[in-house]
Amino acid sequence: MSAPILELRDLYKSFPIHNSLFARDRHVVKAVDGVSLAVRQGEVLSLVGEPGSGKSTIGRLVLGIETPTSGTVWFDGVEISALPRRRMRPLRQRIQMVFQDPYASLNPRMTIEAIVGAPLDVHGLARSRAERGRRVAETLRLVGLVPPHAQRYPHEFSGGQRQRIGIARALITNPDLLIADEPVSALDVSVQAQVVNLLLELKTRLALTVLFIAHDLAVVGHISDRIAVMYMGRLVELAPTRRLFAYPAHPYTEALLSAVPIPDPTLERRRIVLAGDIPSPLDPPSGCTFRTRCPYALPTCAAQVPAFRELEAGHFKACIRDDLSLQPAPGLVADQTAPQ
């Protein structure tokens, strides 16, 4: 087992909400509520959850765009959450980000060369214009584009090609860690498959570690080594991909799996439709925050926050009920899968 390249230790991030201009009592939203997680060198770890579950905030904390309220972020043995900007900068070229919206994340007035080459300028990595051009061309080829594309503008490209440009921009500094925040959710299925395959290929070729943030469990299942499921700022389950799909241990994971639409009109399935929406993060339920939507909740679930504990090697959950037999992902027979 390889060493963690990224470690989150008891991470909290809350945002103050001002109800009125002169409000004295400030409400806070706990976006990330005590998350500890280690991402190993060379793996793809996915953070899954509904919007507002805190998964994107974790991405931003790792990049240093946000500072944690408490807790620490460690990258390659260095505590980066406390570093001054000046010292963070050289590390940041080793941590790069791919954004969700390939339309909004590329400046329409810049050529592809300027967009993809920008990180080289920021970090002073190209000694000459010629070197810069050469590295841009190289990186474009890496993501399946051709060097003549460098002189064009973003509007000349389709959504899938734009996402390739976004990936090229992230890869040009030779990062060790890639944070991909919903990189395929804005794309059509056929193109989504192209981008997922590209990310997997690049991961192997460049020995990348990827923190993949997404809400689509089917896509996540294809790309991840391990999956962490989040709900209202907390981790509720963490397991190797195959294990999570075959033996989900948290009721929220079961509901997420059962809600994925399956392209088979004859499949018989027992769907768990969760009642209601995610509760307001301003006023979260006591104890287990999922209990208000959980079909298996007991009165004791309100009493205290369930511990995030290890069930078996590498499989963690935050739920007090061990007496449940939850159903696996639709179409997957649990018994066919030996535990990993």
To another protein, the closest distance from the beta carbon of 194 in angstroms equals 4
Among 265, 268, 335, 338, which residue sits at the site for another protein (rule: CB under 8 A)? 265
CB closer to another protein, 46 vs 173: 46
Residues in CB range of 337: below 8 A, 6 or more apart: 242, 243, 246
To another protein, the closest distance from the beta carbon of 327 in angstroms equals 12
Among 249, 274, 288, 319, which residue sits at the site for another protein (rule: CB under 8 A)? 274
Cα 319–chain centre separation: 22
Per-residue exposure over 255-270, b if at least 16 CB sit within 10 Å of its own CB, e if not: bbbbeeeeeeeeeeee
Among 63, 178, 256, 319, which residue sits at the site for another protein (rule: CB under 8 A)? 256
The SS3 assignment for 149 reads helix
- Window 107 to 166, contacts with another protein (CB under 8 A): 158-161
CB closer to another protein, 75 vs 247: 247
- Window 200 to 219, contacts with another protein (CB under 8 A): 200, 215-219
User: Which tokens sit at 252?
Assistant: 């929220």
**264 counts as binding another protein under rule CB under 8 A:** yes
Q: What's phi and psi for 125, nearest 5 deg? A: -95, -15
Segment interacting with another protein (CB under 8 A) among 77-85, 114-122, 124-132, 265-273: 265-273
**188 counts as binding another protein under rule CB under 8 A:** yes
CB closer to another protein, 111 vs 185: 185
To another protein, the closest distance from the beta carbon of 119 in angstroms equals 27
Residues in CB range of 284: below 8 A, 6 or more apart: 30, 232
CB closer to another protein, 51 vs 148: 51
Among 311, 332, 334, 339, which residue sits at the site for another protein (rule: CB under 8 A)? 332
Residue type for 66, please? E
- Give the integer Cα–Cα distance in Å for 103 and 77: 36
CB closer to another protein, 129 vs 270: 270
Q: Name the burial class of residue 209, with classes exposed (0-12), middle (13-18) and buried (19+) by CB atoms within 10 angstroms of its CB.
A: buried
- Window 156 to 185, contacts with another protein (CB under 8 A): 158-161
**338 counts as binding another protein under rule CB under 8 A:** no
Q: Name which of 199, 115, 107, 175 is nearest 149 in CA terms.
A: 115
CB 249 within 8 A of CB 237: yes
The SS3 assignment for 10 reads strand
To another protein, the closest distance from the beta carbon of 116 in angstroms equals 20
Residue type for 75, please? F
To another protein, the closest distance from the beta carbon of 260 in angstroms equals 6
Cα 320–chain centre separation: 26
Residue 166's H or E segment, with its range, is helix 159-171
CB closer to another protein, 73 vs 220: 220
- Give the integer Cα–Cα distance in Å for 209 and 197: 15
To another protein, the closest distance from the beta carbon of 1 in angstroms equals 17
**20 counts as binding another protein under rule CB under 8 A:** no
**273 counts as binding another protein under rule CB under 8 A:** yes
Residues making contact with another protein (CB under 8 A): 50-51, 158-161, 188-194, 196-197, 200, 215-222, 224, 240-243, 245, 255-267, 271, 273-274, 276-278, 329-332
